[in-house]
Chain A
Amino acid sequence: MFDLTMLDLSRIQFALTAAFHMVFPAVTVGLSLFLVVVYALYMRTDNPAYRSIYRFFRNLFAIGFGLGIVSGIMLTFQFGLNWGPFANATGPIVGTLLALEVVTAFFLEAAFLGIMIYGEGRFPRKVVLFATAMVALGAFLSTTWIMSSNSWMQTPAGFDFVNGQFVPTDWLAVIFNPSFPLRYIHMVVATILSSALLVTGVGAWYLIRGTHTEFARRTFSMGLGFLAIFAPLELYTGDALGQDILAEYQPAKLAAAEGNWGSENTGWNLLILPNRDAEENTFQLGVPFAGSLIVNHDFTFSEAVGGMDEFSEEELPPIMWTFYGFRIMLAAAGVIVLLAATSVVLRVRGELFSARWFHWLSMLAIPAGVVGIVAGWVTSEVGRQPWVVYGELATSETVSNLAPASLVFSVALILGTYAALFGTYVYYLVRAMKSGPESVSDDGDDDFDVEDDDLPGDDGAFTLDAPREYVGSGSGGRSAAGRAYFRIDGAGEVR
């Protein structure tokens, strides 16, 4: 068991980095869209409740974004560090798509993030809205290129293999490879869902506590609205992915995800304990007839699910990871769909803000989206094994020749660091929820305002002495309003 090869170690390291990284785009991509909507509503209605929502979630966004960036840089360089031969072989395609991401998305986000976070109060609201929209655009463009290159690795197209390198012959075929459109929509919707769960959960928390009522009602209602609209789309694209893409391009992955060896089971497995050598499950528990319906869309419940014995030992991915990754993703999807459906019923009956049990459920469901996304990636990436570029390039051929000691060292360092950072992130989330948004009733108008800045005595000169007190900085001395004001609190509290 402890007989790990260099390939195993590099895979563990990559999985750790990728899973850690994925948590943050999972929340921020969808949240960026939400922020644009909220800020636009604020500009239209001048309702300070929207400003307070914007600031609160912008702070959560900023921290998630920062963690996403730093772990993303680590991921990019690992392509070369740990997988040198992979970098050399796929550079002309994967590298080019990555370069496209950097010039179209990465810089866009980086340049406008500063304006979005620090610009409120310094620049006109239009500029802030524009910056927020550009950050969101960057986030979606980034997702586009990443999904394109990852989908190409799943269903490669439009290339020749020359001298050990993938040489693109048709860029449109590369970018719009067979699995890209569905996987892209599936991923984008998933990030919208997981952000909506966060927004909903924060609202639910304040509804339960009976504080920040206006903030709570609006976020709770908006979050659930996003969920109700997008949850069905997620189910549809997920189902279509299995039906159209996996069945045709990656049948071994589909078979492993369903966990049947033979081809006579019409049930749908819930738990299995596979034995690879004997080609059977030592333990298997399933729902009768459901497999036929879910996998084959067979309403007579008689068509059996395809089995893994159609594939040779070398073609099959690790079964446990693929099977349970898929089950966990589906369980998360179940929670989300149930929540969305219940919310529609409650909304129609006018009980959305009074059904306390539902508020508790909504709060507990916050992690479901992120869990679903990470589990989905596990299914998709582990299920692709033993290939790194499906059917073309084996993962084992692409690992860098590194000293085992330096690999052990780097894996340990990554594990420790990411565990600590993830803990800090969760701690921060909980604390931000506890300290709450700025009070909506505060009239601290933080908009760009010429008169305000031309007050006598304020000549704009550089001073370090007691800065102007912030009217809208919320309760308890700690501002949730924005990072630009943190320094004031810092000056007041820390020193």
Chain B
Amino acid sequence: MALFDALAPYVPHILLGCAAVSLLLYVVLDGFDLGVGVLSLFEPDGTRREEMMESIATVWDGNESWLVMLGAVLFAGFPLVFGVVLPALYIPLFLMLFFLTFRGIAFEFQAQHSEHSRLWGYSFALGSLGTAFFQGVSLGAFMDGLSFSGDAFTGGAFDFVSPLSLATGLLVTAVYVLSGAGWLVYKSGGELLASARRWGRRAVPVALVLALVTVALSSVYSPAAGNVTGLTVQSFLAFGLFGAAGVSMVAAYFALGGRDDLKSLGFAALAMAGLVGGFMAMIYPNVILPGVTMQEAVAPNSSAGLLLVVIVPLIPVTMAYNAVAYYLFRGKTEVGHHKKPGGESTGTSTQEG
């Protein structure tokens, strides 16, 4: 208990850290598989569309779990945030969940209803697109600030529509596409690999422009803008991370054509982490905009205690066995092909860049 008492003043930071880690892992991990889904919309060939789905079939479920983790950590650690932000973003979040539903079931039904594979292919592709876009819209609407009093949302249903939220919607979709292309470069071969390289390169300039627009809009209109004006450590950190995200996108562009099939995925992940980190640095120490800090919204200590003792230590354990699952299915996906554990099959991967 002595340890816990010593930790008590840092409880909000630790819980916020858990939420941040969940969000970061969610965006980086589910980002690429949502991106694969969006890309499948532009893939005319049925075999390749199935190959795209198959490349993420073993991992999407675990990736998506980080979204639930984020929800649960907020619900438990910052109940006020869960209770105010969700009703405020009702329409975009509800639509996000709706699209997520269609995307999720597409995997199972696609595998079982082979004769309806077109239908489930669309369900997967449009579901991914809608999920990605409305996640971005929710981010932008959050950055715009919410109207609430006490513990209840008081604004209107369409408050979420704004130039910033539309821009973030597009931005998130674009970076997910970039990351999805990076994943396909790592996982596929032949035609699909070539097409992934092409689409990834198209996504980079779009994402860069949208990132610039988003950062500009939020530093003008967001209630968090005040945090990053002037030469403070916070503004240095936020804009540093945004800058790093931009550099990573450019690096991803070149890596898409390079010989190392894992590099572009890595740079895309860095770009997403930079963007997420930049926005988090901008908002800190608030958890609702405008103006509710983490200390004001944090759950009582007796509740945080259990979170600290049980949940925090379990997060690395969880990450470890999810990593093992990734490792077991490493290497290129072989469609309809029987394969050995491990990824001996590097195949034709590096020739067509």
Chain A residues with a Cβ under 8 A of chain B: 59, 62-63, 65-67, 69-71, 73-74, 76-77, 79-82, 84-96, 98-104, 106-108, 110-115, 117-119, 121-123, 162, 164-165, 167-169, 171, 400-403, 405-406, 410, 413, 417, 421, 424, 428, 432, 448, 453, 459-464, 467-468, 478, 483, 485-491, 493-495
Contacts and interface: CB of A to CB of B under 8 A. Distances in A.
10 pairs of A and B residues whose beta carbons are closest in the complex: A91-B79, A462-B347, A80-B86, A95-B75, A487-B336, A95-B76, A114-B58, A92-B303, A403-B157, A88-B83
Contact of A80 (B87, B102, B112): B87
A119 B328 contact: yes
Contact of B64 (A73, A79, A448, A460): A73
Chain B: number of interface residues, binned into ranges:
35 or more
A104 B69 CA distance: 11
Contacts of B310: 100, 103
7 contacts: A71-B101, A91-B77, A103-B314, A111-B325, A400-B83, A403-B156, A487-B336
Contacts of B84: 84, 88
B75 A66 contact: no
A171 B322 contact: no
A14 to B, nearest CB: 13
Q: Is the interface of B mostly helix, strand, loop or mixed?
A: helix
Contacts of B117: 490, 494
Given A99-B311, A403-B157, A463-B337, A169 B69 contact: no
Given A95-B76, A428-B113, 13 more contacts: A66-B105, A66-B107, A80-B87, A84-B86, A88-B83, A92-B79, A102-B68, A112-B321, A122-B338, A428-B112, A483-B57, A485-B336, A494-B115
A112 B154 CA distance: 43
A495 B59 CA distance: 26
A77 B98 contact: no
Contacts of A66: 104-105, 107-108
A112 B86 contact: no
Contacts of B341: 122-123, 448
B247 interface: no
Interface string B46-62: 11001100100111011
Contact of B189 (A101, A169, A462, A489): A462
Contact of B61 (A59, A77, A85, A110): A110
Interface stretch (B88-96, B163-171, B268-276): B88-96
Interface string B153-180: 1101100000000000000000000000
B97 A77 contact: yes
Contacts of A487: 50, 54, 335-336
Nearest to A461: B347
Contact of A406 (B157, B329, B337): B157
A494 B311 CA distance: 46
Contact of A114 (B62, B91, B94, B151): B62
Nearest to B193: A462
Contacts of B189: 462
A99 B329 CA distance: 28
A460 B340 contact: yes
A417 B117 CA distance: 19
B218 interface: no
B65 A102 contact: yes
| B73, B115, B310, B338 pick with most chain A CB within 10 angstroms | B338
A89 B150 CA distance: 13
A81 B102 CA distance: 19
A164 B150 CA distance: 11
B71 interface: yes
Nearest to A486: B111
Interface in B285-315: 299-300, 302-303, 306-307, 310-311, 314-315
A77 B93 contact: yes
Contacts of B336: 467, 485, 487-488, 490-491
A401 B152 contact: yes
Given A111-B325, A114-B57, A91 B299 contact: yes
Contacts of A81: 86-87, 90, 93-94
Contacts of A63: 108-109, 112
Given A73-B100, A489-B114, A114 B329 contact: yes
Contacts of B311: 99-100, 103
A80 B61 CA distance: 22
B232 interface: no
Contact of B98 (A169, A413, A486, A488): A413
A115 B325 contact: yes
B193 to A, nearest CB: 9
